[in-house]
């Protein structure tokens, strides 16, 4: 750099600034922030990609309560996924819910995994999902055990009654009808809830229903091979010839119904039943615990009287022991007698008559032959009133030695058993005869005569009342005065008859004189009786 000389009379010139070139290899601190943010973002993305689980699609009939980006998928209240999107299916019959599962929830892609929407529900098993009133609905899951996996699932419309992590056993029940039982209805053992109804379906032939129940552990060990099940509905009410009966299992069954079971005996030898063992579901406890009826016999009874009060199911009784029941009631017209007959079909169980009656090895006669012998000795069927409260009647079998002879054809099927009218009908006939006789009595004329008699009696009573009033007004004062006079007379007589009265002394002396006179007269009489001649000659002097 050359020096410049400054001219005179001028100030020296300022030096020009020097320019230093900045180094390019030193980074600026400004770029450090976005670099760190990018690294953090890449780390989060990598973490999300690493922890990200499979994506599945669940179909539901409705998207009620579901919301994309908010609705969660939970298993035992633990989040295992999130709803990403909700779309409508092509045929608009259901909705498709896309769910992003977590890495830990890969097992929920098993083929038998179940999903359902948890929302407030009121069902036979109780009220559930109340916590969703504040938090909102979510999708519940039940992990499957299948080794096969899939990505599309059909969601359940109702929560499953039994999840796969519940320990216990399932059993199958066969019943004539469902009754008041529903899915979730309780199962009781000794009035303790031990399980619930899991499912039911109609039989293929349409003649009954099949139910599946689940008994929780450790109560499943009480279900034995000889256990009996019956409907424990809200009210088991029976009104029959025996009267009125009411049975209840528990308060829950009043609203929900239920099923109860019990073993035939309490011995330890009752082996536990295996899972999926089939049992018969009886209508009530009595039908469930009764002994097997054995073979049945259909018998036809003809009654020539009213069957009012007799219904199918009524008992056929033999001296207090139920031998069968009434199956049907009808009416027939007999052309020969030109009368209407009332046929009653009953089912009898001969085994209830005892072992000896049905054993053919010890006797050469068959049960039908013995039945003919009993009929010949007065065995008849009769309708009897079972309860005055309900008015129902039942069929009674008994011996009537004075009954008219009857025969029974033991070869005919069904057997026609002889009957006899009951005593109540005879009493009714007698009452009807008495009523007819009473109807001939002229009650109208008797009533008219009675009215006349009552009118006459009324007049008589009126006259008597007038007479009594007159006596009270006229005679009563006179009677009072007469009583006063009588009282005075009695007082005077009392004074006169007292011991110190002069009259009493005079009378006493007079009586003494009369006694002496009577004695003298007696002496004279005795003397005259001994000496009657003295009346003429006079009294002789004493010598």
| pLDDT band (50, 70, 90) for residue 125 | low
Q: How confident is the model at residue 246 (pLDDT cuts 50, 70, 90)?
A: low
Residue 342's nearest CA partner among 281, 383, 378 is 383
pLDDT tens digit sequence for 42-65: 887 777 666 678 899 999 998 888
Residue 1's pLDDT band, with cuts at 50, 70 and 90, is very low
pTM: 0.54
Which tokens go with 163? 């999840």
| Tokens at 354, concatenated | 């005892």
Strands (E), 143-295: 152-154, 168-175, 186-189, 192-202, 209-216, 227-231, 236-240, 243-247, 259-263, 278-282
- Averaged pLDDT, 121-150: 75
Per-residue pLDDT, averaged over 82-87, amounts to 92
Contact in structure between 414 and 345 (CB atoms under 8 Å): yes
Phi, psi of 328 (to 5 degrees): -155, 160
Q: Lowest mean pLDDT: which of 16-25, 150-159, 298-307?
A: 16-25
- Asked if 334 and 308 touch (Cβ cutoff 8 Å), the reply is no
* Beta bridge mates, 209: 175, 202
pLDDT-derived band at 2 (thresholds 50, 70, 90) equals: very low
Span 236-265, average pLDDT: 65
pLDDT at 531: 76
Does the CA dihedral 219-223-228-233 come out positive or negative? positive
What pLDDT does 28 receive? 59
| 395-411 tens-digit pLDDT | 888 888 888 888 887 78
Identify the helix (H) or strand (E) that includes residue 323: strand 321-329
Predicted confidence (pLDDT) at residue 243 exceeds the cutoff of 60? no
Dist CA 401 CA 398 (whole Å): 10
In the chain, what's the furthest Cα-to-Cα distance?
A: 254
Per residue in 485-520, pLDDT tens?
778 887 777 776 666 667 667 777 788 888 888 888
- Kindly state the average pLDDT of the residues 162-178: 88
């Amino acid at each position: 750099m050359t020096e410049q000389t400054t001219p005179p009379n001028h100030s020296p010139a300022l030096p020009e600034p020097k320019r230093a070139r900045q180094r390019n290899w030193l980074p600026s601190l400004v770029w450090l922030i976005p670099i760190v943010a990018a690294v953090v973002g890449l780390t989060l993305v990598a973490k999300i990609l690493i922890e990200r689980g499979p994506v599945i699609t669940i179909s539901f009939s409705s998207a009620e309560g579901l919301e994309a980006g908010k609705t969660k998928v939970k298993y035992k209240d633990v989040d295992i996924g999130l709803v990403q999107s909700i779309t409508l299916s092509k045929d608009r019959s259901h909705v498709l819910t896309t769910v992003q599962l977590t890495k830990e929830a890969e097992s929920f892609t098993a083929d038998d995994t179940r999903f359902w929407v948890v929302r407030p529900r009121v069902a036979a098993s109780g009220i559930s999902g109340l916590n969703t009133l504040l938090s909102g609905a979510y999708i519940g899951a039940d992990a499957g055990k299948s080794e096969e996996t899939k990505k599309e699932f059909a969601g359940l419309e109702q929560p499953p009654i039994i999840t796969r992590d519940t320990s216990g056993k399932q059993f199958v029940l066969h019943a004539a009808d469902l009754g008041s039982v529903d899915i979730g209805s309780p199962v009781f053992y000794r009035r303790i809830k031990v399980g619930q109804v899991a499912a039911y379906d109609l039989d293929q032939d349409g003649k009954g229903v099949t139910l599946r129940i689940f008994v929780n552990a450790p109560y499943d060990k009480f279900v034995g091979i000889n256990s009996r099940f019956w409907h424990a509905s809200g009210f088991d009410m029976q009104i029959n010839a025996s009267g009125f009966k009411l049975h209840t299992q528990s308060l829950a069954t009043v609203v929900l119904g239920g099923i109860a079971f019990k073993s035939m005996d309490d011995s330890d030898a009752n082996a536990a039943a295996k899972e999926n063992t089939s049992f018969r579901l009886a209508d009530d406890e009595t039908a469930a615990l009764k002994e097997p009826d054995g073979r049945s016999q259909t018998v036809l009874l003809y009654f020539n009287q009213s069957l009012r009060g007799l219904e199918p199911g009524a008992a056929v009784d033999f001296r207090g022991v139920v031998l069968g029941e009434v199956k049907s009631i009808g009416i027939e017209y007999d052309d020969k007698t030109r009368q209407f007959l009332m046929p009653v079909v009953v089912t009898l169980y001969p085994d209830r008559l005892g072992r000896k009656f049905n054993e053919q090895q010890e006797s050469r006669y068959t049960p039908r032959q013995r039945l003919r012998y009993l009929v010949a000795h007065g065995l008849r069927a009769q309708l009897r009133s079972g309860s005055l409260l309900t008015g129902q009647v039942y069929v009674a079998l008994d011996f009537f030695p004075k009954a008219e002879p009857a025969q029974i054809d033991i070869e005919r099927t069904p057997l026609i058993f002889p009957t006899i009218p009951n005593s109540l009908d005879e009493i009714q006939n007698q009452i009807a005869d008495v009523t007819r006789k009473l109807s001939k009595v002229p009650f109208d004329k008797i009533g008219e005569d009675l009215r006349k008699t009552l009118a006459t009696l009324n007049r008589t009573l009126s006259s008597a009342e007038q007479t009594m009033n007159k006596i009270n007004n006229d005679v009563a004062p006179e009677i009072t005065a007469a009583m006063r006079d009588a009282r005075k007379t009695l007082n005077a007589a009392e004074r006169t008859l007292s011991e110190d009265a002069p009259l009493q002394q005079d009378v006493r002396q007079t009586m003494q004189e009369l006694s002496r006179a009577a004695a003298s007269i007696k002496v004279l009489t005795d003397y005259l009786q001994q000496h009657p001649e003295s009346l003429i000659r006079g009294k002789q002097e004493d010598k």
